[in-house]
């Protein structure tokens, strides 16, 4: 069964290394907290808010050993007024038998406000 594993993080500015480093930090936490093997991943979608244009956050996935062939796509979020700025969101589609309520969705830094109800979801 394919499950979505969500994550989000904010950056302080539109700088290439900040975008890549933050995205890598988020990806590694999503992978570690959910024990994700790249062979079980169908695809990864990464969206950014409109202020983020200095780099493709997908470059961060290629810094992680074993993730070379996982399909990844970047896109821009819908520009909803008053939404969280400088935000990178990830949706990882993973083949797993883990029940939805046990998936660890990861929200870091300023993005914790997006889903405070999920901060301890999946943690046992």
Catalytic residue annotation:
6, 62, 74, 77, 89, 107, 115
SS3 state of residue 27: helix
SS3 state of residue 109: helix
Provide φ and ψ at 8, rounded to 5°: -155, 155
Please state the separation of Cα 66 from the chain's center in Å: 17
């Amino acid at each position: 069964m394919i499950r979505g594993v969500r994550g989000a993080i904010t950056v302080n500015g539109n700088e290439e290394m900040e975008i890549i480093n933050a995205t890598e930090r988020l990806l590694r936490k999503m992978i570690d907290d959910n024990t994700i093997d790249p062979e079980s991943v169908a695809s990864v979608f990464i969206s950014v808010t409109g202020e983020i244009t200095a780099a493709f956050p997908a470059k961060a996935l290629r810094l992680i050993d074993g993730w070379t062939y996982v399909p990844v796509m970047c896109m821009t979020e819908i520009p909803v007024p008053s939404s969280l700025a400088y935000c990178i969101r990830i949706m990882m589609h993973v083949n797993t038998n883990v029940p939805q309520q046990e998936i660890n969705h990861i929200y870091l830094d300023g993005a914790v406000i997006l889903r405070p109800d999920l901060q301890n979801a999946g943690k046992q």
